A and B are shown apart, each in its own frame.
Chain A
Amino acid sequence: MAEIMSFKVQARESSGTGAARAVRRTGRIPGILYGENIVPTPISVDAKQLSEQMHRKSFFVTLYELDIDGKKQRVLPRDLQLDPVTDIPLHIDFLRVGTGTRIRVSVPVAVTNEAGSPGIKRGGVLNIVRHEIEVICRADAIPQRFTIDLDGLDVGDSVKISAVKLPEGVRPVIADRDFTILTIAAPTVVADEAAAAAAAAASGTPAEAEAVSAAGAVPAAGAAAPAAGAAPAAGGAKGAPPAPSAKGAPAAKGAPAAKGKKK
C-alpha cells in the first residue's frame, strides 16, 4: 500500500530554458505538474528536499501530497532528469492522480534471505534480470516493492513472475508470457577455468589463455570477444601490441604488418 508523503513546492511564473536555469540558480529544481485533464502547472521544488527523497528506493511508487503555495494536490513522481555527468537533478515531473486512477508504474524488486540460498552459498551468482517490474494498478494502492525470498534456490533456479504473489488489483504489463525476474547463475570461475584450459590448449601460453578467458567472461563484449582473444596470439608474437586489421578476423593475423606502409 502506497504511503503518502508531503512535498512543499512553489508555482513558477515562466517556463522555458532560460527561466528553468534561473530557477536552478536560486537552489531550486524546476518541474511540471500535469494530468487529470487540467492545464499543466510549472513548479519548482527545493533541491535539498528533492535529493533526500529521490534516493529512496520507492521514490517513483510513493504518492506525495504537493503543497503548491497552500493548495494541496495528490501526485506521483513520474520522471526525473539528471545531469549525465554529476547526476544532479535537473527537472522533475509529477502526475496528478485521482482516487480511482489506474496507472502503469515500475515497482522495484528487492531480494531477501540470500544466506538461505544453497546456490549462492556454493558460489552461484544472483543475477537480477529485472530490477523493476512494470505493473498496472490503482494509484492509491501501488506496491512499494516486490520482495523475493531466495530461500532454497539452487544454481540454475530462476524466479518468474508467476511465482510472485501480486496484491489484488495489480497485474503485470507483460501478460503474454511468464518472464524471468532473477536467476541463480553458475559461478563464473567454472566458465573461466574451462575457457582458460581450452585457450591454453589452442595457443600454448598461459598469458594468452587468460586473455581469452577474460574476454569470454564479459557479457557486453560477447560477439567480438573470441576474435579479440585470438588476434594477439597471432599478431603479437614479438610482444608488440596487436596490430588492428581492416580485412576481417582472418586478415588480423599480421595483415597490417604486411600491408602497412613503412615510413
Chain B
Amino acid sequence: MTDTLIFAIPKGRILKEALPLLARAGIEPDADFHDPASRALQFGTNVPGLSLIRVRAFDAATFVAHGAADFGIVGSDVIDEFGYEALYAPVDLKIGGCRLSVAEPKALAEDDDPRSWSHVRVATKYPNITSRHFAARGVQAECVKLNGAMELAPRLGLTNRIVDLVSSGQTLKENGLVEVEVIADVSSRLIVSRPSFKRKAEVMTDWLARFREAVDA
C-alpha cells in the first residue's frame, strides 16, 4: 500500500494561524498554495506523498470523516456540530480560539425570562449544537439554517436569536446584539480519520507526535 496522505486545511479564519503550526510540524506547502490567483484545489508539499486540500471548514470535517482525506484541521465547533463517529480529534492545536454563543437584541435581553421558554427561533450555522443545547434544558429550538451574516436575522425579523462564533464581540455590538450565553469554548483541533488512523497506523502516529511537539514548541 502506498502511504499517500491527504491533509484537509480550512479556508478562512484558521488558515493564517495554521500555517506556522504546519511549518513547525515539518509541512511546507508548495508555492502555488500561497498564490491567490491559483485555481488549484490540491497542493503538493515538501513531504513526499503528502498533499493539502484547501476547503471550507465544514467540508474539511466531511472529507476526513469519510476517509477521503486522512487528517486535517478544523474548529471544535465543526466537530461538535457533525458528531461524526469516524473522526478523532487527538490534538488541541490551541489556535483559532473563540466561543460559540447565543446572542439576541439588546432590548430583548433586558426583559427576557429564559425560565418561561418552551420554544425559541434561532438563526445559526449550527442547528445540531443549537437544538441539543436548548433541548438539554427542555426547550425546543426551531433553527433557521444560515451560512453567514447571522447578525442580519434579528434585525430583519427572521429570528429573535442567533447562535454564532464570537471572538471580540465587535460584530455583535455593531448590530445591536448582546451575547447572553456561551455554549462552548472553541479551538482548532487536529482531526484524523478513523480508518486512516487504523490502516496507516505507523505514519499517522508519527504525525500525531509531530503535531503534539509543534503545539508545545
Chains A and B come from one and the same complex: no
**What is the interface of chain B, defined by CB distance below 8 A to chain A?**
none
**What is the interface of chain A, defined by CB distance below 8 A to chain B?**
none
